[in-house]
Structure 1
């Protein structure tokens, strides 16, 4: 049986504020811990006005302090935006204060180009993603290479434990990087649900090289999950999610996550229907038992060790209810 986790985007529900969204994330993390979920990750999204989680490290510190047992992680830190040395020190600080509870999920960054330019405005030569990953591993391993350009540089604080490292991706390229570096691999099924994902994970397992951080391959898949007490309510929440996805990809997205009422009132145009149908392939929708069955089938398809649900649907109370219903269906317990 696989491990079950949560990734939260901190959505700003219609009528709510970013402050309230972050408080909702905190309460969701506490509830996830009570229910028996293994990990609670937070996202990094820039220039998405309907999402409050732009700085996962800072939110992680707050969540780790607000909980006691559940692992807290990033899903993920977008490495091309940053210095690997700074990322190493941020996560060592987190791990120093909350040993054996911190996950470092790394991504290549799907953000807007203007975001990357703003975050790197004063930098000169850009490093390749592969080089950044290697640098980060060196700073976290305390085993510097004599040939490295920063040989002798130590990421502080020096601690006895290490954050658990996960490479995030949805392609053969990301699978290869994870395998070469001996990292756990989290596949974004919610982004590209296709046979290519199964092939990427098979490639990862075959090419995996043990590292000081991980002895054997470990696979997680992440899925959008909309869970409600009835199938009818789940479908209503899914319609609001349909609209949010359309909003996010539009030129003038509103600064909130649309409600069920807004989704009903606005509806979907004929030109949007095909996009909505494509997006529906990225979701698992239904009652807890229906979602459980679909998750188990998907996990078996990938031979996943862990499944991370993204309960990115409208309403803090709906999200709290959804994760509780699913925990009960899976028989989770702390």
Structure 2
């Protein structure tokens, strides 16, 4: 998975860190470049509003992420960071596993709008929600409120859209790990995307221009027109294999399998936005369609 499934993402991130320590910055840049065009912030305008930048973007030790808020979030609420389920520090959740309210002390590097400067470090207190079933998402609750972060760093959170993205939407995938922005359009909504033991529903398939790479896992998918987060980047088919790790396959409603070598995908986040209730809690009730933890057997 992108950036992938943590088995690969962790290995690549660790390898990148080793290279960096050895002074191999050029090797990192070459690795990123060989996977296709990565649009730097400010290269493409839209409607006179200015290009999507790194506002609200964070870097993890092995992945990318973003500072987000839902439609009911208040400035005084503890802030949330969004990334992939496979980026979870305790390891990838198994198929069917849902994690809620797990203590965490994970730190995140908050970037400035250019992506070239770290404004400071944000600290998690717990994993609010994480799963790789139906979607691939982790939501961390922070020790700071949105107001605290805005006052200290001048950084607002990105807003989660409550609507599904339409096919053909102009998007930016913003990676805090690589400090790069990938630009393209959403190409299609995939009924089921299967990778190893995991299956995701209604995944976003990118147009070929979005050649995201390992380390971009957890990057927000931002609708250029609204500036809202409509998804989270999570995988791509590396080797042309069928439904294996780092080689997801598409499954249509009739069960037909299609492999698209070199194509990349993300997961929609409108369900998460709709499930965020008072105090930024993920409320897994009847009106929330996110997977729920398995019931604990009695006695």
Q: TM-score, normalised by structure 2?
A: 0.30
In our comparison, the structure showing a higher alpha carbon Rg is 1
TM-score of the superposed pair, with normalisation by structure 1? 0.28
